[in-house]
Each structure stands twice: as structure tokens, then as C-alpha cells.
Structure 1
Amino acid sequence: MHIEIQRNADMSITNQIYHSVLDQIRSDFLEEGSPLPSVRKLSKQLGVSLVTVVKAYQKLEQDGFITSVQGKGTFIKKTKKEVVEGKKGSSSYDWQLSVEDYLPRSQFARFHQVPEKIHLSSSMIDPGLLPNRYLEQEIHRMLSKNPRVLSKYGEIQGDKALRQAMVEYLQKMNLSTDPENILVTNGSQQGIDLIARTFVGPGDVVVMEAPTYPGAIDVFRGRGATILTVPVDSEGMRVDLLHHLCDKYKPKIIYTVPTFHNPTGAVMPTKRRREILEIAESTQSLVIEDDPCSEIYFDRKPPAAMKSLDKEGHVIYLKGLSKILAPGCRIGILAASGSIFKRLLAAKANTDLGSPLLTQKAIIPFITSKRMMDHLKKLRIALKIRRDLVLDILSQHAPEEVSWFLPKGGLNIWLTLPSWMDTNHFLVETKKEQITFLPGAACYPADQENHHLRLSFSYMNEQPLTQGVTTICHLLQSAVYLKNKQGSSPHF
């Protein structure tokens, strides 16, 4: 079990150990019933005192994540009786526990594809709302005209015709660039990973919003970054607190989702975008501007991208097409300039020698036609209907102790529950009803807040969406009732 200790971090070493073990439990790296290193072994491995490890283990046991068995050791807690008594039997794969890895967490993947019928945990779009038939026809047409497209490697930077098409697409969003400054990626997630593996090493400071997109947390934690967080308000990242943080530390990266922030849905005004860019310029930092779905607005268009204000090449802009067009194509773009771009291009070459040519070619006719704008218009209407449906159900059925942020675009609604509720435990109850959501703790890079959850309204159609949200509200009502009646928190 690999734990990265950052001795200059604001978080105590005890809490770092606690959160590292908890992250690995929630990422399913540590299976239920598997043993943890002894206190003595872990303290020697990390170069910390026995007392420090003991306190971390005691907190994990107190919070119900591990259990100690006298004379046998400490194990990941399991409800089955045989684990409390000690592990019985042995798998032929048990030897693999001795192979050390360097993955501190991978929480987001657990909620991306789930077996539950009512899937509210991942911000994907209902396949029925996407142009599947048109893209299918376009692939057939392309293969019949040019079957050798399957026999060719694409350019590492990405197909030039697609890069030119994306330049024109971004211009409609008031963002000017050129094909030479665009890199085609396998979705935005690869863009984040390329930036991290190129510019982030152990101890480098990365500033992130709290909460933020959990897939980005997973990547930066995997690089051993020192992650510092800035709270989010109704206008995105708090610039006053960012100023204070950057006065004390010099961040390598500032990561932000300024438009329909994931998970809260906040939209950052132009003034604040400009202020963050000025901070980056003064500290010689890079800004990663992650833009997964700025096209999905319900009232008016959001402000232009921060990248449109960038004159000195501080902003690396990520635009995903997977969500709004074709998840199976896994296409996104990265826009940067200067030597920053050249180094990212080299990282892309080292990673996969270029994205698949077939899927790149397939989407070009669509994004360059009027069909793309018509598709986005219909998508906004359909998703606004679903957002309003969820808001209406919450208004009617959620306990008054529950609050939520009103998103003016995007795919998610962020709920805040009473502070005594832990949504990781609440998820166990909703799964019994075949319903999933994203627990808020997954969205916090450092000190986790457990009383939030993210509902994604974009994937399920109206009937299961109504059933899922209504059931969640009823379960919350029951929990609040029991709390008020018994004076103690329900056991979930």
C-alpha cells in the first residue's frame, strides 16, 4: 500500500494517512477483509512515529472503515462475520497484495458505469438524445468511399481537417485559436492526464476548487502533487482566497471548471476569470480551464472562455465532445501555445501515438454542418425539461433541511444535506432501491465534506428520473424524521 506523505502540507500527517487509506478503500483498491500493514511496519515505511499511525488507525476504526482483531491484525471492515473473526481461506491471488502500486485513488471510475437501474451518478447524456443514426450513416459512407482509413495511423496531433473544424467551432464560442495550437485527445480526461504527467511531479503545488471534478483529483493525486483547495461560491472559485493562497505558495497549476462548474453548476463571471488569469500571470502558473459542456445553457450563453482573455499562453483549454456528441468516439481537444503546447504534443506521442483516425473523420461532417447547432438547441431544451423536473420534485418532496444550487446549465444538481448525514452511507440505502448518485466526498481533494451529493439529471429519461429522485427524497425524509424522533443519526 503506497501512501505519499507531504511534510510541508497544511494537513497533519495523521490526517494524510487517514485520508490516503480511506481513498484507497473508496477506490476499491483495498478489498473488504484485506489486511492493512501493522502499525510498526507502516510507521517504518513512512518514516513517522508509531503514535501518528496509531491515531490514524484509531480514527479509521472509529469511523467504521477498519477493524482490529486481537492477535491477527487490522483489516478493512466487512459486515460478514467471518472477517471479524479473521480471514478464512485464501485466494490464489492473495500474493498480489505484496505488489506495491502508486495509485493513491481512483474514485470516479466506480461511479461511471454502474449496475443500478436508475443511474444518477455520472454526468453522461441519455444516448437517445444523441445523433447516433447520423454518425452511423457517416461512418458507413466514409468507409465505403475510403476503406483504407482503417489501415492508416492518424497524425499524433490529430487529423488536420478536424482541428480546422474545431477552430471554426470555437470561434462561434468567441474563442480564437488556430489548428497548429490544437491537440486532439481521447476525451478531456486524457487532456488532464497529459498535462499532469508533463508538468506535475511529487510535491508540486496544484490548486483546485473544493468541490471539483473527481476525475481530475484522481489524476493529480496520482502524480504526488500537493493539492491546495479554494472553496466555490455561486460565482465559482473564490478569488480572494486564491490570492491569499498564492501569496504563501507558488502553484504550478490552477485547475478550474469555470462554466457550469462540476459538481455545483456555478458560472464564473468574466471579471473573476480575468482576476484568476492575472494571478496566474503574476505567479507564472498554468491554468487548466476544463470546459465539458458550456454549450448546455438554459437561460443565456455563459461568458467567453478564460482562454479568450489569455495573451501570454498561461491557459490550457480543454473541450470535450464526448458528452454532447458521441461518447463512443472519445474525442476532446486541448488548446495551448508556445513550448507548453510542444511538450504536451510530445507527451501525447509517448502515450498513444495519436487518437483513432476513424472516429475523428466520422464527426467532421456533423460538427461543420447546421445539424450540430440544431442538435445542441434540441439538447438544451430536453435537458432543461429534465432539470426542471428534478427541481420540482425536490421542491415538493425534499426535507426542508436539504438545500441545492440552481444550475443554469450543465448536467448536475448539487445537494447539501444536514451536516450529520454521510452520503457515502446513504448511498448504500439508495442502492437497495437500484439508485445511484455521486457522494460529495469524492469531489473533495483534501478535507472531505460528507454531507453533499451530486445528482446527474442528464442520463435517465423522465420516468426513471422521477422515480429515482422521489425515492431519494422519501429516504431523506425518513432519515430526518428518525433523527428528530430519536435524537441520534440513523445508521447509514
Structure 2
Amino acid sequence: MNIHIDRQMSTPVYMQIKNIIKKQILSGEMVSGFKLPPERELAKETGVHRNTVIRAYEELIKEELITSSVSPRGYFVTYSQQKEYKKVTGFSSRKYPGALSYMLKDEYLQMDTLFSELFYNDGLAKSEQKVISLAADIITKNLYPREHLNEIVKELSSAGGFDWYGFSPAQGLLELISSIQGLLKRRNIHATSKEIQVVSETYEAIQFAAKIFLSSRDTIIAEEPISPDMLQAFQFMDVNVITIPMDEDGMETHYLEGLIVKYRPKLIYTIPTFHFPTSSVLSLSRRYELLELSYKYDIPIIEEDCDSVIRYEGTPVPSLKALDTMGNVIYINSFIATICPGIRTAYMVAPEKITRKLSMIMENTQIFLSPLNQYIASQFISRGYIYDSIEKICQFGRQNRDLLCRTLAATEDIDYRFTVPKGGTSLWCCINENINPKKLLCKAHELGVSYMPGNLFFPFRSKGDDLVRLCYGNVSPDELAEGIERLSEAVRASRG
């Protein structure tokens, strides 16, 4: 077996061994029935203690990828990349029991604490100079469309203005739903008014969908890397998360059918366009493959599509919802980036029978959403202001993206590796240097710059020590250039 241990990584050695074997199993390199080396043999081969190998094997057993046998004696692969699958009579994705082998643990909460501290630039040791935040993936306040929003708000107080003092329908304000329909048509998503549910933000939308489809201990499949906030949200729902790897073309869908057969998930959660945090875009062929597997195994898909309009070049790839012919995709979008965070308005698109249930959940949990925010959003859209806002965001984002990539590429003494994103407001970057990630994080903050360490986006921080997420939507060009200079200085100081 070809297992290379990197002792400079913060990832425990047993987790490195486990991850390497898992990848070989999922890729089909180790087929079902393959016998793994005995504990002592693998320990000698890798230069580790036998107990380290035992612990790695135990983790693989927990995930039901291998089994320990007495006769014949040894460890054997049990994962099978089945191409055919016989459905149980009367099968519905809503009735399958969840796999119990991949439970979320307390480490996620620790990760999320650091994620929040970096996002809000709070809780870490104070820097002697103002911290430039490349950690928060938000739009700068300078781009908030204050003039247009103030215009709409002033009209509310005029005679005959909108009556925002009372209740609004649980499904959402009819004016906003109509405006959303117009937006969706531009994206080739044709939804009736009864197929749209207004919510306050995307996490709430996902929680509502989970209440309909998931029970305690059920399983979902999500892309890896994944937002720590989203992992914590699923943890609060008591849901098992099975992750699927990604490459430059998004989710590696050739692994998907094997994971479906193995774990029988009830939902697939994906961000196919400008994925968070990698900014990758799922290719068209993989979108069709994902939909085909969704139809074959009767598994709903949650598609989060908040950043797809922040595109700098290239032809847009149709959303999963636009390609969906069977009604399996629940589409989620938000106006936090394209209008402003304070509007706190998002929406879901799903078959009418689903939105009726979503409206009932809204009525039972919140009664209704603020009609004021909904009216402002509807007017902002119907007057065409949202398209001006998107254009300004794209101009600013393209300028900062180009500046960031040029600055990184021009730093000749540091091996920064990245793919230039075609949209979104963050860059997924590999620092191909011999550095300690904890030392780098502390040194960077000491020098006055923050970023998101890549290992935050992997369960148990088992990968990503050489990765960072750099956000460029919330800083001026001058701040961005200075922030990268400070980061590079921190990298130089953290070598060895």
C-alpha cells in the first residue's frame, strides 16, 4: 500500500492513514473483499506504532468501509461501487432509516467557534494595528444601494402608501412573490406563485426543508469542503452528514451512486454554482448525472444558489432547478448579497405540495414575516434596482479578484496555487509551503490580517492545512493589497 505520512500536518497520523485508505476505497482502487495489510505489517511500512494503525482501522470500521473478521482472519473492504440497485417495495426516501456510522461530534462546535471569531474579527488576541479582514465573505457596505432603499422607505410614509402595519400571508407577500417569479424567469426557472415560499434567510429555508424530509439520525450527502456553519446547522437537526469530494468541476458525481447505495440518504445538499468555499462550478454533465441519480433513487436535492449572479465571465450554467423535470430540486436563494443583509429576505422554490407544508411550518414557528422588509424587497426588484446592484457588485468583485490574483502570482518567493474564480467573492488558495497552520493563523492576526484556514471546512479538520479562503468582497483595493502583503509576511515568518 502506498501511504505517505506527513508529520508536519496538524492532522493526527491515524486520521491521515484512515483518509488515504478511505480515498482508495471510494475510488475503487480497493474493491469489496480486498484484504488490508495486518496491523504490524502496515505499522512497519509506515513507521508508526501498531496502535496507530488499529485506531485508523477502527475509524474505517465505524464508517462501514471495512470489517474485521476472525475467520478468515484480517481486515476486509466491505464498500461496493454497485451500479444497479433494487428498490425495496414501496420505497420512499422519506421512509429510509439513516446510517448511524458517521455521527457529528463536538469537534464541529469548536471549529464553528473559530469560524465565527474570524468572520466577525472577534475573540482572537488583539492586533496592534487595524485588522484587514479577508475572512468574512460579505459585500462591502460601500455597495449597499442606500439611495434606492431610502427612496422606497420614504414612500411608505406618504399618503396612500403601503400598509405595512398588519399581518402578511404565511407564504409571503404576494407582491414579493410576483417579483421573484420575474427574477426566476430570467434564470429559466418557471414557477407558479404557489411554488414559492418566502423565508428570512437560507439557513431557515434549509431547516424548514429538514423538518419535512428528515428525522433524527437520518443521513444526507453534502459536498466536502463544507461550511462549518452548515455542519453545525445539520448537527442541531441531529442529522448524519456523509461528505463527497470535489474537484475543479464541482462534486465528483462518479462517487455518488456508491455512497447512495451504502448510506441511503434522504437528501442531497449542494451549492453547484460558485460553491462555498471553493468557488467551483458543477459542470453541466455532472448536473445531469446528479439529477439522474436523484430520480433513480427518489432523493430530493437542496440547491443553494445565492452567488450565481455574481459572475465575472463565462456562460452561466443552468441551475439544477432549471434542468429539473421531475420536481426533485428544492431551490434556495437570498437577497442578502444583491440588496443588503438588513433586508433579511430569502425564498424557496418547490412543488406546491411542499410549499403548502412550508407555509404551515412558517405559520407555526413565526406566524408571519415582516411585511415591511418584503415590500421593500419587492419594490427594489420590480423597479429594476436589483440589476443595477448586481452590476455594481460584479464590477467591484471583478476588480478585486483580478488584483488579488495578480498580487499572489507576483509574490515569487511563496508558492501560492489557485484557480481563478469566475464569480463569487472569495478565492480558495493553496499555500504550498512547509508551514504550521496554527502558527500562520496567529502570526497573520498579529500582523493585522485575518483569513479562513482551509481545515475549518473539513470534518474534524482532517484535511486542508495548506489551504486558505481569501475573501475580497468586503475590502477596498488598497486594503486588499496590504492584506496580502501582511499574509505573505506571516507565511515567511511561519516557515520551518
Same-fold call, TM cutoff 0.5: yes
AA matched with 2:480? L
Change (3 A) 1:135 1:149: same
Name which structure has the greater RCO, CA cutoff 8 Å, separation 6+.
2
- What is the CA–CA distance in structure 2 between the aligned matches of 1:222 and 1:241, rounded to whole Å? 27
Q: 2:228 aligns to what? A: 214
Q: 2:469 aligns to what? A: 454
Change (3 A) 1:201 1:444: farther
- Report if aligned partners of 2:279, 2:428 keep a CA contact under 8 Å in 1: yes
- What is the CA–CA distance in structure 2 between the aligned matches of 1:472 and 1:18, rounded to whole Å? 35
Q: 2:480 aligns to what? A: 465
Q: CA deviation at 1:450?
A: 3.7
Change (3 A) 1:349 1:10: farther
Map of 1:122-271 to 2, 5 A cutoff?
122-145=136-159, 149-271=163-285
Map of 1:44-59 to 2, 5 A cutoff?
none
- Report if aligned partners of 2:194, 2:355 keep a CA contact under 8 Å in 1: no
2:392 to 372, 375, 378: 378
Q: 2:453 aligns to what? A: 439
1:23 aligns with 2:108: yes
SS in 2 for 1:144: coil
Q: 1:61 aligns to what? A: none
Change (3 A) 1:140 1:9: farther
TM-score (norm 2): 0.74
- What is the CA–CA distance in structure 2 between the aligned matches of 1:415 and 1:358, rounded to whole Å? 41
Change (3 A) 1:6 1:321: farther
Q: CA deviation at 1:305?
A: 0.9
- What is the CA–CA distance in structure 1 between the aligned matches of 2:192 and 2:171, rounded to whole Å? 13
Q: CA deviation at 1:278?
A: 1.0
- Report if aligned partners of 1:181, 1:341 keep a CA contact under 8 Å in 2: yes
- Report if aligned partners of 1:398, 1:473 keep a CA contact under 8 Å in 2: no
Measured on the aligned residues, the alpha-carbon RMSD in Å equals 2.6
- What is the CA–CA distance in structure 2 between the aligned matches of 1:316 and 1:17, rounded to whole Å? 25
AA matched with 1:164? S
Q: CA deviation at 1:438?
A: 1.6
Change (3 A) 1:236 1:141: same
SS in 1 for 2:157: helix
Q: CA deviation at 1:245?
A: 1.0
SS in 2 for 1:242: helix
Q: CA deviation at 1:169?
A: 0.7
1:348 aligns with 2:355: no
- What is the CA–CA distance in structure 1 between the aligned matches of 2:412 and 2:209, rounded to whole Å? 41
The percent of aligned pairs where both chains have the same amino acid is: 23
Moved more, 125-134 or 156-165: 125-134
Change (3 A) 1:17 1:287: closer
- Report if aligned partners of 1:132, 1:326 keep a CA contact under 8 Å in 2: no
Q: CA deviation at 1:176?
A: 1.2
Change (3 A) 1:423 1:343: farther
Q: How many residues align?
A: 396
SS in 1 for 2:380: helix
Change (3 A) 1:197 1:444: farther
Change (3 A) 1:6 1:110: farther
AA matched with 1:373? Y
| Structure 2 unaligned blocks of 5 or more | 1-58, 67-100, 123-129
- What is the CA–CA distance in structure 2 between the aligned matches of 1:340 and 1:11, rounded to whole Å? 35
Q: 1:309 aligns to what? A: 323
Q: 1:478 aligns to what? A: 493
